[in-house]
Every structure is written in C-alpha cells, then in structure tokens.
C-alpha cells in the first residue's frame, strides 16, 4: 500500500542529484500550452543547465513555443509534428529534434504524453548548426556498451560536433550494470521507460522503476544496475561535444 499519507516517498533532492517519483509530481501548464499540462522535472532552479518535462496533452492539445533547441520523445499516444513544410506522425517511441529558431508545431492526435528536453544552444567556432530530424527509437540499431551484450545503447542524435547534446536510450538485461562508477563533467536527465533498477548517486542508493526521473549534476558519482526479471530501459540526456 502507498505510504504517502504517512509522509513517505522515494523522491529525494540534493545539491548534485535528484530522484523524482510519480507520487510527488505536480502538474502545471507552461506558457503557450493549450489543452495540456506539464510535469517539470529539471530546470535552472534545480541547478540544471537544461529543462526537461513530461507534457500531458489532450486530443488537439499543443505545446507552447521555445527559444531553445528542443528534443521530443513520445511516451504514449501520438502527435503531429510540423516543421519545414512537412508533417510527421510520431507514436510511442517516436522522437524528434528541433534546433534553435526552427519554427515548428506539435499537436496531439489523441491523449498523449511527450517527454520534452530543452537547452540553449552552445555554438562552436567553425562548426555549422545542427539540423532538424525525426525518427523512431525502435528502428535505431543498438550497440553493446563496452562489449557487454547485456547493456545496449541506442543513439538518437547524430555523433556530429554540430550537436551539443546527446540523447540515448539504454537497455539493461536483468542483472546488467554499468561497468564502473562514472564521474564526469556532463550532467544527465534520465527518465525510466520500463523495468526497474538501482542507482548509486553520490553516496546514496536509490531503487527506481518506470516513470521515475533522475537528475545527475556535473561530477556526481553515478552507477546503475538493472534489477528484476525484465529488462530496464531509460531515456538519458547529456550535454556533449563542448568544453565544460
């Protein structure tokens, strides 16, 4: 039985990391949204250099505009994304990237949930700007991480210096783990898509399951293990291709 009436939650917020669980989610509309609301997971107020939220849209609902670059990942339902004079239908596990200044519209075809990551673009001298794209995560070829067939990475954005962010899905077979405790300059936003696992963040240990969001700040020690009898899969963001 949930223990929320006893003041219990798995959620925790610290200076360099946070684990946010659905029992603590608060919904509010963001500017420009219509027939939609948002669960804002990460923002500058937390100390993050990016924003990430889950948009919950009614049929016909739309996202508001943004001055930042934007990554979309459809969690459920379907949306129509329009940019460059073309319309793309994105269903669950469909994704898209829109660079800064790319005029676009996102409209839900049915009740839908979309994960949204937004970040100001950091230009690099001599490097062209990134380009818009749309795809399906299920069609992306995975690769074993460090030669471990139990840990598969699907890279959703091009490995090109034009992109200053990376978004991947990582899939863990039961019992698979990261090969090391990582400490690095990149920060992460991580949404559990399915399964369950265990995070080590700084000197704390956190059980997580589908629907949980985790923020890892720069240089926060981090490690993950997939638990249970089914695979664990999460969507993970990091800043990339730039000096800290």
Q: Walk along the chain (244 residues) in steps of 10 and give the mean pLDDT of each run.
A: 78 97 96 98 97 98 97 98 97 98 97 98 96 98 95 97 98 97 98 98 98 98 97 98 86
Evaluate whether 234 touches 166 at the Cβ level (below 8 Å). no
- Residue 175 burial (C-beta neighbours within 10 Å; 0-12, 13-18, 19+): exposed
Tokens linked to 226:
């997939």
Residue-level pLDDT at 197: 98
Residue-level pLDDT at 34: 98
Tokens linked to 129:
């700007």
Residue-level pLDDT at 4: 66
Residue-level pLDDT at 2: 64
Residue-level pLDDT at 58: 98
Residue-level pLDDT at 1: 58
Residue-level pLDDT at 89: 98
As a residue count, the chain comes to 244
Residue-level pLDDT at 6: 83
């Amino acid at each position: 039985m949930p223990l929320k009436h006893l003041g219990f939650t798995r959620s925790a917020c610290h200076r360099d990391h946070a684990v946010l669980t659905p029992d603590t989610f608060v919904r509010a509309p963001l500017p420009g949204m219509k027939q939609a609301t948002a669960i804002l997971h990460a923002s500058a107020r937390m100390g993050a250099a990016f924003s990430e939220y889950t948009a919950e849209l009614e049929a016909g609902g739309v996202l508001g505009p943004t001055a930042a670059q934007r990554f979309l990942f459809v969690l459920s339902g379907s949306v129509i994304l329009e940019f460059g004079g073309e319309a793309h239908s994105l269903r669950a596990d469909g994704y898209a990237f829109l660079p800064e200044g790319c005029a676009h519209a996102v409209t839900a075809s049915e009740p839908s949930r979309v994960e949204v990551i937004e970040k100001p673009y950091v230009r690099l001298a001599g490097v062209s700007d990134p380009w818009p794209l749309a795809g399906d995560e299920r069609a992306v070829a995975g690769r074993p991480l460090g030669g471990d067939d139990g840990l598969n990475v699907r890279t959703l954005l091009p490995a090109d210096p034009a992109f200053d962010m990376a978004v991947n899905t990582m899939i863990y077979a039961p019992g698979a783990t990261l090969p090391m405790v990582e400490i690095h300059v990149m920060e992460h936003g991580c949404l559990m898509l399915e399964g369950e696992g265990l995070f080590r963040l700084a000197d704390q240990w956190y059980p997580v399951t589908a629907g949980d969001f985790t923020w890892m700040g720069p240089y926060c020690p981090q490690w993950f293990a997939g638990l249970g009898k089914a695979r664990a899969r999460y969507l993970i963001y990091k800043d990339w291709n730039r000096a800290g």
